Amino acid sequence: MKSRFLRLFGLATLGAASLLLVATSSWAQQPRPRSTTSKTSAKPAEESYTIVQIGDEVKAIRTSDMAVEKKRVADDYKKAMKAWRDAKKSDPKAERPPKMMVKTKKTGFSVKTEADKYAAKLQDELDKKGDSKDAKGTAKPGT
């Protein structure tokens, strides 16, 4: 009696497990509905501009291009340092290139012309400051 019950229980369990496997495998093969938010249907974000200072130059760039600009400046500095090291071998008094960095001055401009106007204003201030330092003789060499 006990063995008959175990056989029936085993067969019922095996049948239920096979039904469960069949149901889940057919569900997994059904195509899923796409999400309601799609990258192509999303409204593109408004472009914003950032004012940066690179060495003695102030300019407006797109905020999304900030990483590219930093990488470009770092690569240019590495090239300048390599050229300086090569020149230093022949001329020990060769002047070291100034450290180049991307300094963020102001962010959040939504219109390129406004950003350019502000960059020109900062460039004028930087030029005036540089001229006054040159007149006093306190400017650092190479800047």
Query: Taking the model in full, what pTM does it have?
Result: 0.56
pLDDT of residue 92: 83
Does residue 95 belong to any structural domain of this protein? Answer: yes
Same domain, 56 and 104: yes
Same domain, 69 and 2: no
- Nearest residue to 123 via CA among 135, 115, 133: 115
pLDDT of residue 56: 87
Counting as low any pLDDT under 50, the low residues of the chain are 41, 142-143
pLDDT of residue 94: 85
Does residue 123 belong to any structural domain of this protein? Answer: yes
pLDDT of residue 137: 53
Does residue 36 belong to any structural domain of this protein? Answer: no
Same domain, 24 and 54: no
Same domain, 57 and 127: yes
pLDDT of residue 76: 93
pLDDT of residue 74: 92
